[in-house]
Structure formats: structure tokens, C-alpha cells
């Protein structure tokens, strides 16, 4: 990156057509068959990651786009079971020991807990900054 698309790896098990079960790698190739440096950015990839969990993207997938054919078939043929698995995966990924665990040093996105006071202070700083950027 930036000459090639970034590699997005999910650190928890996710039964999703675009997530490889062996290592959690997320398939960006469907959205970015040709990554264009300085035209495509990491925020585009992260936005696609977010949208990939929505029905409008899932419905557009074809088997050749998918790392996980089993999850793809479950989405196409047994949507209630697919949703049940997704719900379990989401609950597992939201536990504090998963959200705040130590990440490798090359991991650019790391979460840490915030108290209510820290959250409010951060939000206030963001509002002040955003207000100072207006012409």
C-alpha cells in the first residue's frame, strides 16, 4: 500500500463470504479489481468492509468473488441460519477481551476503552476542531 490494495484481516472468526476462514483475510478484489494509488485510499477499503455486511452488497456477490463458499451458499440458501451465525460472530467480537487485546506492532487500528469523561472530552475536541475548519 499505496501501490497495491491494503490487506484487511479480521482477528475474530467471521462466517462471511468475503472472509477467508483460515486467516480472516477480507477480499477486497471484488470492489477493487484494479487498485489505483492516489485515487483509491484506505478509507475506501474500510467503507467497503463496512458495506460488505449489508444485504445490498451480499446479494451482488457471485461464487468467484468469495473466499468462503460455504458462507456464500448459506446466505443464498438459508438466510435465517446465516443471520444466526452472524449474530453469534458479532457477539463474540464485541467482548472487551477481543476489542482491547494486544495487537501486533504493525496493526494501524487499535481500540482502547474510554471512560464517559474521556469520550466527552474527545468529542468536544473534535467539535472544536471541526468548527475551526469552517471558512
pLDDT in tens, 1-11: 788 889 999 88
The pLDDT of residue 20 is 95
Q: Residue 101 and residue 11: Cα distance in Å, rounded?
A: 10
Dihedral sign, Cα of residue 88, residue 89, residue 92, residue 96: negative
Q: What is the pLDDT of residues 82-114, one digit of tens each?
A: 999 999 998 888 888 888 888 888 877 788 888
How many CB atoms are located within 10 Å of the residue 14 CB? 21
Q: Residue 19 and residue 9: Cα distance in Å, rounded?
A: 8
Judged by DSSP in three states, 25 sits in strand
Amino acid at each position: 500500500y499505496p501501490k497495491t490494495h491494503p490487506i484487511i484481516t479480521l482477528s475474530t472468526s467471521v462466517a462471511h463470504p468475503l472472509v477467508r476462514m483460515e486467516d480472516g483475510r477480507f477480499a477486497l478484489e471484488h470492489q477493487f479489481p484494479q487498485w489505483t494509488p492516489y485515487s483509491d485510499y484506505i478509507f475506501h477499503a474500510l467503507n467497503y468492509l463496512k458495506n460488505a455486511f449489508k444485504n445490498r452488497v451480499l446479494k451482488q456477490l457471485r461464487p468467484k468473488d468469495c473466499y468462503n463458499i460455504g458462507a456464500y451458499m448459506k446466505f443464498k440458501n438459508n438466510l435465517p441460519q446465516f443471520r444466526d451465525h452472524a449474530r453469534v460472530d458479532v457477539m463474540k467480537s464485541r467482548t472487551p477481551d477481543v476489542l482491547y487485546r494486544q495487537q501486533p506492532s504493525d496493526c494501524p487500528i487499535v481500540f482502547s476503552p474510554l471512560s464517559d469523561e474521556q469520550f466527552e472530552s474527545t468529542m468536544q475536541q473534535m467539535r472544536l476542531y471541526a468548527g475551526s475548519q469552517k471558512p
